[in-house]
Amino acid sequence: MSREKRIIPCLDLLLDEKGGRVVKGIEFEELVDAGDPVEFAKKYEAQGADEIVFLDITASVQGRETILDVIKRAAAAITIPFTIGGGISTLEIAQKNLDAGATKVSINTAGVKNPEFISKAIEEFGADRIVIAVDCKRNPDISVEGVNIFEENGQKFWYEVVIMGGNEGTGMDTVEWAKQIEALGAYEILLTSKDRDGTKDGYDLPITRAVAEAVSIPVIASGGVGTIEHMVEGVLEGDADAVLAASVFHFDVYTVGDVKEEFRKRGIPVKS
């Protein structure tokens, strides 16, 4: 385990009358306003965060672009890399987000609907500026052909790729989609379990590990962190290259420094 593992706070954004706000919910629903995203970003940089992810969670559903004002303010306030995702559906929109100051853009729904868009974005901006987000959910219908079957507590299932903020199934197998993403030239995958999002039950380790083993590019584990141990498990059991968390940081359950200290105690390399 020579590669340093990254700790990445995630800020889910919702557009309202106050502008872009940080929200947190359960399985992408029951959202609670947590505050101003740029203030959170500044706090996390001070705590030692390696990167930050901003996800505009309703941009794709509402058919609009991301919250550019938040990106511009964040770029002026912090120096660590940050990714913006949500509504990145054209090269023009991606360009606007990068021009506004984002280090990377995250492509999800548009890439599933048109994989060629991923290749074009990588060609246009470089693989190191593109993150491919994959949202998935367990599907108990194991009669579907060509999917990777998992079993847990006597229950068999597969992981279906979901889009539109987790609201729409695709019929696509998550592991196979991850392999295709790598073949398209992607540099990194942000993998989120819709089943675990906001539950504080820990990452969905079987799919995290399966994707990490299926590809050679970095995988960011996302969805379900409630304790530092969950983040440790994401690395040691899920084989993730980075761990992403939201509410445990937003509500000051832990700091990024707390996580890095525990990682060091467990022999997991992190940046100082």
Residues annotated as part of the active site? 12, 135
223-to-2, 142, 193 alpha-carbon distances in Å:
25, 23, 5
The SS3 of residue 219 is strand
Write out the two tokens for 52.
């930050």
CA dihedral 164, 168, 174, 180 (to 10 degrees): -60
* Cα-Cα end-to-end distance for the chain: 16
Residue 123: which residues within 8 A CB-CB, separation 6 or more? none
Query: Which sign, positive or negative, has the C-alpha torsion 174, 180, 184, 186?
Result: positive
Residue 189: which residues within 8 A CB-CB, separation 6 or more? 131, 132, 133, 134, 178, 181, 182, 211, 215, 217, 218, 219, 220
Give the integer Cα–Cα distance in Å for 139 and 89. 26
| Contact status, residue 249 vs residue 21, Cβ threshold 8 Å | no
